[in-house]
Amino acid sequence: MRPILCVFSVTAALVSSRRDGDPPFTEKFFSQVVDHFNFNSLGNATFNQRYLITDRFWKKSFGPIFFYTGNEGDIWEFALNSGFILELAAQQEALVIFAEHRYYGRSLPFGNQSFSIPEVGLLTVEQALADYALMITELKLQLAAAQSPVIVFGGSYGGMLSVYMRLKYPNIVAGALAASAPILSTAGFGDPRQFFRDVTAVSLGEQIRLKRPVACDTMLGGSDLLTNLRDTAGTEPALGLWKHFKNCEGLADSLQRCFVPAGMVYNSSGLLPCFDLYRLYLGVGCHDDRSRRFFLQACTEIEMCYESNNVTDMFPPMTFTQEARQLYCSKRWGVQPRPGWLRIQFWGDDLSTASNIIFSNGDLDPWANGGVRNSLSPSLIAINISDGAHHLDLRGSNAADPESVVKARKMEAELIALQRGNKLGQDNAK
């Protein structure tokens, strides 16, 4: 049986011209501290951290700052797919900054040696958050923006970082929009079978909703799943799918290894990207540098402890064990995981005393149930989007957007206006 991996600086004068078709951003580099927490190892050594910025809509010195907490990838990828932030900036006269996560894109603390051991050891959530806190603080000084409240945005892992920024640096961040942020499941909460069960429900359910044929003759042996669907039709996780598959002998062979641990997007066009987790875990082929970097993070702090059983999901049985995780992480990266660390550092599921965070999740997103689905207080608001895919609400408006997504963006805009207003009110009262 195959195991499954749990799962005061000055901006440098390095500016590249904007590319045709890109949003109205200028690409810059910030002189960032390599190690925020050890004064002996590297002293005040710095590296060039990339960020994108536009003041096209900004009411200078007073308008808010919308700051995207970059996640696992090239920052242009997120800027090009988060048009809602620009639309909102136009409405609320905001400065927009997209910051690139250390060790991704062109933000490499040790250049070509960044992924060697021990240099790669500074790829942590805590270091990334400190990067963003320092960047925000220094850019506000440079831009004479002391009165500008900062709202952080992020999707998926980036959404997790937005939540953490509000929790850890409330003196710097006034509010957060965390889209599709699985902050609970990645801290080790919940049923480890939830993810693959939801992938199954979403992918098969959407094919049916879109009236697309299901290739039953090519499906992987899934008699246990089909029996379960037959016996539990109309209940979770079957979702009434049995009637659509009662003539099938199995489930799609092409989905046997279909899993995207760090950036799955299932949208209304039926896209279900594949990621070969088995080969990744065995350390051979079928994964890129970005995936390898994120799996280091899954070896240290982020818990991606998902298993499948071919009963409640369409995947081959894969049993998670901490021993398997430790073996892989020790062999590949020379580290041992610290289960439960995110719970200690970032409040776990006890978030009720936090404030000014929006948690948005779409029902077409397998990551959704690993996040916050119910509002926890008047300022910890959960927005559930019936026709929403993985952080679809962060994308720019489109004529094909479901009404639920349009309504979600409108509500998010209103709540963000309240967040920045509360911050300004607090500052004026001092």
In angstroms, the CA 294 to CA 298 distance is 6
Sort 299 into a burial class: Cβ within 10 Å, 0-12 / 13-18 / 19+: buried
CA atoms lying within 13 Å on the CB side of residue 177? 31
The residues, ordered by sequence, that sit 6+ positions from 124 with a Cβ below 8 Å of its Cβ are 297, 300, 301
Among residues 114, 156, 308, 355, the one annotated as catalytic is: 156
In angstroms, the CA 242 to CA 121 distance is 47
In angstroms, the CA 251 to CA 189 distance is 29
Among residues 101, 287, 390, 391, the one annotated as catalytic is: 390
Cβ atoms within 10 Å, residue 6: 27
Annotation says 16 is catalytic: no
The residues, ordered by sequence, that sit 6+ positions from 425 with a Cβ below 8 Å of its Cβ are none
Tokens coding 119: 């240099």
Among residues 365, 391, 393, 401, the one annotated as catalytic is: 365
| Residue pair 419/175 in contact by the 8 Å Cβ criterion | yes
Annotation says 191 is catalytic: no
Annotation says 390 is catalytic: yes
Give the catalytic positions in this structure. Answer: 156, 365, 390
